[in-house]
Amino acid sequence: MVRRLRLGADLTLERLSELSGISDRALSDIERGVARGPQRRTVLAIAQALDLSAGDRAAMIRAARAGRRHPQPPRRSLLPSLRDVPDFTGRAQELARITTALCRPRPPLVVLTGPPGYGKTSLAVRGANLVRDRFSEQLLVSLGGTTSQPPSADMIASRVLRALTGQRCATGRTQEQLQQVLADRSLLLVLDDAAAESQVRAVLPPAGRAAVLVTSRRSLAGLDGAERIPVDRLSAEDAQRLLATIIPSDQSDGADLARLAQLCDHVPLALRIAGNRLVSRPGSTVHGLTERMAVRDRRLDLLTAGDLRMRTAFRTSFAQLGSAAQGLFRRLAMIDARTFGVELAAALLEEPPRCVEDMLDELLDSGLVQSSAGDRYAVHDLLHLYAASELAAHESPADRAALRSRTDEWLLSTAVAAARSLCPRIPTTTSTAPASSTAFESPELAQAWLTNEAENWCSALERTLRRDQRDMGGDLIDVEWHLRKVFVRLDITSRRDLQRVLPEAPLRGAGARSRPDSGSHAASAASSGSRRSPSAAPCPGPTGATTHRGCAAG
C-alpha cells in the first residue's frame, strides 16, 4: 500500500525518507511486507509526507493495526534437539501409547516407569521426536533421581525457566513465572529420571499447548491424571534384532544371538553393553561371550563396556532403599521361581507377612521388584543375580546355608500343611518335622498355594532329596507321602515340576480325574521305611464328592 501511494505521488524512496524522517531501510521493509505492523507515529509521519486524504490516511492506519495482530510465524527454537538412539529397536506399542497421549487436547502428562536399564530414556526421546511437528520446542531436563541429592522442585523450575527465557527469576516467584511462560508455548518437557512427584508438579503447565513426558524408576503414584506406561524388557525377537544391529555379522550367527539375548534377560542396557563389548573387540565372538556368561556368578561382571556397567545401574537404586528393604532384597536370591507370594518373602526374614508387605511396597516403588498376577511379586533374572551378589557380600557361607535350610524347611512344611488341608483324612504320623506357620482357611486356598509356589517347593524338595537324607529321616518320607497324595489336584505345570523331582508320581493330563495307582504308593512307602499304613482313608474331592486312595480327584 505504501509503495502504491508513493509511486502515485511520484516520489522516490529516498525523497520519502527525507520528507517523513523515516529511514529508507525501514520504508523498504514496510513496502516489502517484512514489517507488517509499523507503529502509529511512523504511519502518521508517512501519511503526512505523502499528503494523503483523510480516507487514505485511515486505511493506512487500519492496515498497520491489522499487521500488528497478524499471527507471527512459529519462533525458531533455540533449544537443542533431543538426541535419538540411531539403533533404537522395537517398542511399537509403547510408542503408539505415548504419541496418542501427547496429542490429546488437555495439557498431557505421560509417565514412563520401569526398572533400571530398561530403556526408559531412549523410549522417551524417540516418542518426543515422533511428535516434533506438534511441539515446535522440546527440552530434556535431568531430575537426578538416582543421585544421592536430587535437585529440589524450585531448582528444577529455575533450570527450566532459564533454559526457556535465558533469564533468572526473583526468589519465590520461579514457579509462578514459569507457568506464565509455559502457557504461551508449544513445548514438550521431557523430565528424565524423576526422583519425586514434587519435581514434576513444579513444572506442570496449568493450561495451554505444553505437555510433559516423565521417566522414572519410581512409580510416582502421587501424580494425578497421568497416563502411566510401564516399560518392560524387550521381546525375544526385538532383543535379537537389537543385537544384530550392533554386532557385525562375522562375529555372530542367529543361534548365538538368541542365546546372548536370553542371557541378557532381554534388558536393553544389558543387550547394548554386550553388543558394545563385542564391537570393541573385533576378535571376540558372540559364542565365546555366551559361553562365559553362562556361568551365573560371572554374568553381571561380564556385562561391562567402558563406563557402562549393569551392576552400577542396579546399585544406584539399591542404595536408595532402607536397610530393611535392602535385607529383604538380598534374601530374595533364595527364591527359585520367577514369582513368589508375600508369605514366602516373610519366611525369608522370619517376620509376619504384614511387616514384610511394607518392604515389598518399597521394592516395587524402586523398580527392583515387579508386581505379578494374583497379588504376587517377580524378580527378573539379572536383578536376581544382583540380589545374590549382595547376599554373598553381606552374609557368610554358613549363614547362607542356614538360610537356605530354613527356607526349604518352611516350603516343605507348608506344602504338607496344604496337602493336609486338601485331604484332611490323610493319616497323621509321628513326624517330628516342624509345623508350618501358614494356616489355610480353605482347601481352595491350599490348592492355590500349592499351584502358585510349585516351582519353589518342588526345588526345595529336590535339594532335600539330594542332601544326606539322615537330616530328615522319616520326616522326608512324610513330606513325599503327602505331596504324592495331592499330585492330581495340581495343575499340569505343577505336576510336571513335581514329577521332575519324584519320577514315580503319575503324570496325568490336565483335568484327569482317575485315581493314582495305590500299589506304587504302597511300594514306595514300604521300601523307604514309612511309618504309616500304605492304605489311605477316603478324601473329599473339590466339589464335596468322596474320592478314595488319597485325593486322587483332579
Kindly report, residue by residue over 240-266, the tens digit of the pLDDT.
999 999 998 888 777 789 999 999 999
Higher pLDDT, 13 or 352: 352
> How would residue 319 be classed by pLDDT, with cut points 50, 70 and 90?
very high
Residue 489's pLDDT is 65
pLDDT given for residue 128 in this prediction: 92
* pLDDT over 50 (residue 509): no
Contact partners, residue 479, CB within 8 Å, separation at least 6: 412, 415, 416, 433, 461, 464, 472
Q: How does strand 137-142 pair with strand 187-192?
A: parallel
By three-state DSSP, how is residue 266 classified?
Answer: coil
Q: What are phi and psi of 358, to 5 degrees?
A: -65, -40
pLDDT of res. 410? 92
| Span between the terminal Cα atoms of the chain, in Å | 93
Looking at residue 28, its pLDDT comes to 74
Q: Which of 1-10, 202-211, 304-313, 475-484 has the highest mean pLDDT?
A: 304-313
> Per-residue pLDDT for 431 more than 50?
no
Instruction: Give me 515's grid cell.
Output: 485315581
pLDDT category, 416, cuts 50, 70, 90?
Answer: confident
Dihedral (CA of 298, 304, 310, 313) sign: positive
The per-residue pLDDT for 90 is 92
pLDDT exceeds cutoff 50 at 547? no
Which residues are registered as beta bridge partners of 137?
187
Write out pLDDT tens, residues 394-412: 999 999 999 999 999 999 8
Domains of the chain, by residue range, sit at 2-69, 92-230, 236-306, 314-395, 419-434+441-551
What is the rounded average pLDDT of the residues 313-335?
95
- Which range (253-257, 298-302, 430-434) has the least confidence? 430-434
Q: Are 451 and 494 in contact (CB under 8 A)?
A: yes
Percent over 70 (pLDDT), the chain: 78
CA triple 332-333-336, angle to 5 deg: 95
- In whole angstroms, give the CA distance from residue 497 to residue 338: 14
Cα angle value 118/120/122 (rounded, 5°):
105
- Top-ranked range on mean pLDDT: pick from 422-426, 511-515, 529-533: 422-426
Structure-model confidence comparison of residues 56 and 33, the more confident one: 56
Confidence at residue 481, expressed as pLDDT on a 0 to 100 scale: 63
- pLDDT at residue 477 in the model: 57
In 247-339, which residue ranges form alpha helices assigned H by DSSP? 254-263, 268-279, 286-293, 296-302, 310-318, 323-331
Q: Pick the residue with more confidence: 546 or 71?
A: 71
Assign 125 a pLDDT band (cuts: 50, 70, 90).
Answer: very high
412 with 460: CB under 8 angstroms? yes
pLDDT at position 522 over 60? no
The pLDDT assigned to 527 comes to: 31
Give pLDDT, residue 488. 62
Convert 488-528 into a string of H (helix), E (strand) and C (coil): HHCCHHHHHHHHHHCCCCCCCCCCCCCCCCHHHHHHHHHHC
Nearest to 208 by CA among 174, 166, 178, 169: 178
Predicted local distance difference test score (pLDDT) of residue 396: 95
Amino acid 17 reads S
Instruction: Give percent above pLDDT 90 in the chain.
Output: 42
**The pLDDT of residue 432 is above 70:** no
Q: What does the DSSP 8-state code read for residue 439?
A: -
Segment among 79-83, 93-97, 118-122, 247-251 with least mean pLDDT:
79-83
Say if CB 140 and CB 125 are below 8 A apart. Answer: yes
State the average pLDDT over residues 459-466.
86
Residue 52: pLDDT above 70?
A: yes
CA separation (Å) from 40 to 24, 45, 50, 58, 115?
A: 18, 9, 15, 11, 61
- Structure confidence at residue 76 (pLDDT): 42
* pLDDT: which is higher, 423 or 261: 261
What is the spatial distance between Cα 75 and Cα 341, in angstroms, rounded to a whole number?
55
Mean pLDDT of the chain: 80
State the pLDDT at residue 63: 79
Range in 200-209, 299-308, 350-359 with the lowest mean pLDDT: 200-209
Enter the C-alpha cell of residue 128: 518426543
- Measured distance CA(516)–CA(487) in Å, rounded: 9
Does the pLDDT value for residue 537 go beyond 50? no
Cell representation of residue 429? 504320623
> pLDDT tens digits, residue range 169-207?
666 677 778 888 887 788 899 999 999 999 999 999 877
Q: What is the CATH number of domain 92-230?
A: 3.40.50.300
pLDDT confidence of residue 518: 35
Q: In CATH, what class is 314-395?
A: mainly alpha
Burial class (CB in 10 A: 0-12, 13-18, 19+), 166: exposed
Output the 3-class SS for 318-340.
HCCCCHHHHHHHHHHHHCCCCEE
User: What CATH number labels 2-69?
Assistant: 1.10.260.40
Model pLDDT for residues 132-161, shown as the tens digit of each residue: 888 888 999 999 988 888 999 988 988 888
pLDDT of residue 69: 58
Average pLDDT on 331-341 reads 95
Cβ-Cβ contacts under 8 Å for 502 (sequence gap 6 or more):
461, 480, 483, 484
Are 419 and 454 contacting, i.e. CB atoms less than 8 angstroms apart? no
248-262, 273-287, 381-395 — which is least confidently predicted?
A: 248-262
At 452, give phi and psi (nearest 5°): -70, -35
> What's at 336, amino acid-wise?
D
